[in-house]
Amino acid sequence: MVNTLKSLSKQIGALFLDAKSTQTTRPIYAVKGGKTGLQSLEERHQTWLKAQDFKTKRGNWALLPGEDGLDGVVFSMEDDDKDDEDTKDSNANALPAPLQLGSLPLRIPPGDYHYDWTPDSPDLAALAWALGSYEFKHYKSKGEKDKKSEKGGKNAKRLRLPEGASRDDVVALASSVWLARDLINTPANDMGPAELSRAVKNVAKYFEADCAITTGDALIEANFPLVHAVGRASTRAPSLIDLTWGKPKAPKITLVGKGICFDSGGLNIKPAGGMALMKKDMSGAATALALASMIMSAKLPVRLRLIIPAAENAISGSAYRPGDVLTSRAGTTVAIGNTDAEGRLVLADGLALADEDKPDYLFSFASLTGAARIALGASLPPVFSTDDALARALIDTGREVDDPVWQMPFWQPYDTLIDGRIADISNTAADALGGAITAALFLKRFVKSAKRYTHFDIYGWVSRAQAAKPIGGEPQCARAVFEYLQREFGRS
């Protein structure tokens, strides 16, 4: 059901008209907030918008009628009478989703009515158009797409590529995000460890990367005991996916993503409401794969490694139990306080493998704790890092590309809360408070040699539609990290 990067690139490329195209387009006017927000528009447009009681609130948009039908679209880049930095964070991504608009192709005209139009904005605006165009229709009986629109018919919803925007860069970024969204949105009956492995192999083939997959009982022989323990109760065998790309002597960037394809909670079973969205428990893996795709598309001069422990946390007679003591790849013994804290177990083996390579940057991505959502909500993932300067830089790049993160600490005084009584460590803390921090500290126990370790506790889902972010799966943090790495390493 999941599209390949090649097919996604074709779909996304069809969303744009070349700058030299002679096809008729209508303008998208971007206006700022406050009383003067609409004064840059023609008087007839101002009159129409006032009659519609249009408010200059970020994300608001309206169609502008003309003599021959649609005269254009106006959208607000910020709220009324607000002029603070937080309001401006996602201005460049505030384009209205094309699926909500009329069918005539549109353009972003240059001019003074564009507020805060920075050199990077053409790419971000085009990317926002592409991200806002995403739909997950694979299970609709009438078909996945409007074929006439997909093939670029005269009424296709398209945007003339803004001057200065790179089609290749925009399509590459959008394809990576769309791929991750497809993976997260796919129901668990069609997205188990084998299907996730296949998706990674397809990406590896696309970029001519190497990909090794260890499955089932072979995980025990290869010393991934925690991955095996978590996944052994399922009829679908767990796997450890290991992709490598780039020159061996280049700076080492390693990504580890939690690939729990469905989480029942195990013997500590979740209630029905807690299980409803558990197809997204592999969003960390999808995010790491999206980031890997971005890095390879940009040909960054790095040695990339992607590690995904993939499993289904199911219930059967072979399920691991509360009270069990398991030995990790690193040799650390883990007492199981709760089988529903399985994500940190599979990540422990993945991080131990990654750490053996002594990477320059080690990033982990996981929908790990509800405590992170209580602390910061669903759309602001916490970032934990052993390098404060790196964390601050990620906050800055996240703001700039509308992929926000916020720093939380590896608070060392809490580390004793995960000490085990009869084992080296427990997968649950002695205190329920500070759960996102103690989970991050658990992971950090398995990182000894990496120069910098950074962990993201993502939600991986959009519950309320936002500009460029439709309801459904979302690879949070991937674009923020990519922007940082692109600035750090540039292109080869």
Determine the pLDDT at residue 152: 47
234-244, pLDDT tens digit by residue?
999 999 999 99
The yes-or-no answer on residue 464 being catalytic is no
56-64, Cβ contacts within 8 angstroms, sequence gap of 24 or more:
56/31, 56/32, 56/80, 57/33, 58/33, 58/87, 58/90, 58/91, 58/94, 58/467, 59/94, 59/96, 59/466, 59/467, 61/96, 61/100, 63/101, 63/102, 64/29
pLDDT, tens only, 7-19: 999 999 999 987 7
Residue 110, Cβ neighbours under 10 Å: how many? Answer: 12
Q: How far is CA 3 from the centre of its chain?
A: 17
State residue 183's pLDDT score.
Answer: 98
State residue 117's pLDDT score. 45
**Least confident residue range of 103-112, 122-131, 217-226, 378-387:** 103-112
Q: What is the mean pLDDT of residues 165-182?
A: 96
Closest CA to 480 of 374, 379, 353: 379
**169 pLDDT above the threshold of 50:** yes
Active site residue 358: no
Assess whether pLDDT exceeds 60 at residue 155: no
If we measure between CA atoms, which residue out of 435, 446, 304, 449 comes closest to residue 382?
A: 435
In the chain, the N- to C-terminal Cα span, in Å, equals 34
Find residue 339's DSSP bridge partners.
none
What pLDDT band is residue 167 in, cutting at 50, 70 and 90? very high
Please report the pLDDT score of residue 341 as a whole number: 98
Pairing of strands 453-457, 461-462: unpaired
pLDDT at 80: 57
Q: pTM of the predicted model, to two decimals?
A: 0.93
What is the CA angle 248-254-259, rounded to 5? Answer: 135
Catalytic member of 181, 252, 279, 344: 344
Residue 114: what pLDDT?
A: 52
**Model pLDDT, residue 466:** 82
Q: Please, are residues 5 and 175 in contact by the beta-carbon 8 Å criterion?
A: yes
CB 324 within 8 A of CB 225: no
**Three-class SS of residue 61?**
strand
Tens digits of residue pLDDT in 412-453: 999 999 999 999 999 999 999 999 999 999 999 999 999 999
Confidence (pLDDT) at 150: 45
Q: State the number of CA atoms in the 13 A half-sphere of 215 facing the CB.
A: 13
Confidence of residue 102 (pLDDT cuts 50, 70, 90): low
**Whole-number Å distance between alpha carbons of 370 and 270:** 13
Looking at residue 385, what DSSP letter applies? E
| CB atoms closer than 10 angstroms to residue 231 | 30
- Nearest residue to 83 (alpha-carbon basis) of 36, 119, 125: 36
CA 423 – CA 331 distance, rounded (Å): 11
Residue 81 pLDDT greater than 60, yes or no: no
Q: Which residue has the higher pLDDT, 230 or 160?
A: 230
Catalytic residue among 82, 270, 399, 452: 270
Q: For residues 52 and 63, what is the distance between their CA atoms, to the nearest angstrom? A: 11
Q: What percent of the chain has pLDDT over 90?
A: 71
| Alpha helix stretches (DSSP H) within 25-166 | 43-51, 85-88, 121-132, 147-150
pLDDT at 248 over 60: yes
Q: To the nearest whole number, what is the mean pLDDT of the chain?
A: 90
Q: How large a percentage of the chain has pLDDT more than 70? A: 88
- The dihedral built from the CA positions of residue 424, 315, 364 and 207, taken in this order, carries a sign that is positive
Q: Is residue 42's pLDDT more than 90?
A: no
Give the closest residue to 126 by CA, choosing from 94, 170, 158, 96. 170
More confident residue, 61 or 12: 12
Rounded CA-CA distance 353/396 in Å is 30
